Structure formats: C-alpha cells, structure tokens
C-alpha cells in the first residue's frame, strides 16, 4: 500500500506534472486516487484529522489532490470545528482567482511532523480542475476550503507550508488553536 513519504522526499520539492486528460480514467490514475485515499485514511497523529492530500505526498509527482473530510466518520459530527468539507478530486487544478483579502491562517501538513504554522492565505479562491471521471469543473471556496486549495496547489509546485510560514507553532502551543488540529 502506498504510504506518506517523508518530508525530504524529492516529490515534495519538485513541480509535479500534469495528467494527460485521456489518462484520467485509466487504471493507473484510478489506482493513484485509491492509494491517496488510503494514505489519508491511514494518517494518525495524536488527535489530528486529515482533510486532504496531494499526490506528491505519496511520492507520485502528478498534479492531483483530493479533499475528503474524515471528520464525518466521527460521532460528534454535529459540532465539528472546523466545519465539514465536501469530498472532491482535483486533477490538473489551476487557481483562477485569489481574493485580495488575505488572512493569517494556521495549518498543518501530513508531510511535516509535529509542527503547525501561520501562513497568510487569500480568504477566497477559485480553481478549475478535472474530476476523477475527466469532467472539467470550476469551484469557488472560502475559509478552510480556500486555504486547502492554496495549500494543495503549493504541494503540486513543490512548496511546503513551512517554506511560507510566518509563524511556527509547536505541539504545546497547538491546543490554543483549535483549527490547527487538522492536516492537509
């Protein structure tokens, strides 16, 4: 089974390649999506919850990310914070628009152990991408989903949040930032 690769893996520091559109429905790409989901599900770090994953995080240098909110599987879903997210697959995503309005947001990463950071991100983002059936779509997002779009597209460009972070939080400080208890 595919696993999360360590922070030093070259795929996490390189620009990933586009997936030929005609290959999206191929067994190879569908297997990669399955492996990404399995790696996201296998992520366990204290009480943190994985929300999204990019292909380079399992060592595959292709422009694919997916969002799958595993909080849904938890019993206390009704009072979830952060709020629930839609499940989506984004292949060859492009950021079409980023709001001028930005905010310092706290985030964690499946590929960076034990550290959270404050990164200035646009509060709204719109992407264009292909879904797993090869159908193009556009999607706008605000808040946490907009933050995830920016974090995941950074992964496809070989950028980790620690490369951008203006502030780094260590485990003992994380408890004061509830939204920091997720990883993408």
Q: Which residues bind to Zn ion, rule: CB under 5 A? A: 109, 184
Closest residue to Zn ion, based on beta-carbon distance: 109
Which strand (E) or helix (H) includes residue 126?
strand 124-130
Comparing CB distances to Zn ion, the nearer of 46 and 78 is 46
Q: How far is the CB of 103 from Zn ion (least distance, A)?
A: 18
Comparing CB distances to Zn ion, the nearer of 85 and 184 is 184
State both tokens at 78.
């009704």
In the three-class reduction of DSSP (H, G, I as helix; E, B as strand; rest coil), residue 19 is classed as coil
End-to-end CA distance of the chain: 20
Q: How far is the CB of 131 from Zn ion (least distance, A)?
A: 21
Strands 182-183 and 49-50: parallel
Comparing CB distances to Zn ion, the nearer of 29 and 153 is 153
Of 17, 22, 138, 152, which residue is the catalytic one? 152
Q: Let me know if 152 is a catalytic residue.
A: yes
Q: How far is the CB of 114 from Zn ion (least distance, A)?
A: 14
| 16 burial level (CB within 10 Å; 0-12, 13-18, 19+) | buried
Q: Which residue numbers are catalytic? A: 152
């Amino acid at each position: 089974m595919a696993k999360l690769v360590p922070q030093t893996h070259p795929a996490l520091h390189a620009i990933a390649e586009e997936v030929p559109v005609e290959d999206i429905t191929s067994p190879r790409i569908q297997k990669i999506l399955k492996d990404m989901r399995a790696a996201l599900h296998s992520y366990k770090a204290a009480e943190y919850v994985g929300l999204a994953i990019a292909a380079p995080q399992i060592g595959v240098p292709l422009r694919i990310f997916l969002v799958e909110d595993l909080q849904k599987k938890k019993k206390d879903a009704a009072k979830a914070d952060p709020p629930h997210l839609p499940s989506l697959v984004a292949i060859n995503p492009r950021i079409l628009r980023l709001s001028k309005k930005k905010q310092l947001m706290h985030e964690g990463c499946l590929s960076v152990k034990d550290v959270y950071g404050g990164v200035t991100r646009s509060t709204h983002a719109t992407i264009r991408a292909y879904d797993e059936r090869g159908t193009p779509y556009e999607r706008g997002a605000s808040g946490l989903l907009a933050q995830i779009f920016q974090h995941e597209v950074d992964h496809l460009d070989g950028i980790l949040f620690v490369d951008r972070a203006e502030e780094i939080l260590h485990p003992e400080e994380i408890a004061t930032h509830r939204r920091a208890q997720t990883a993408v």
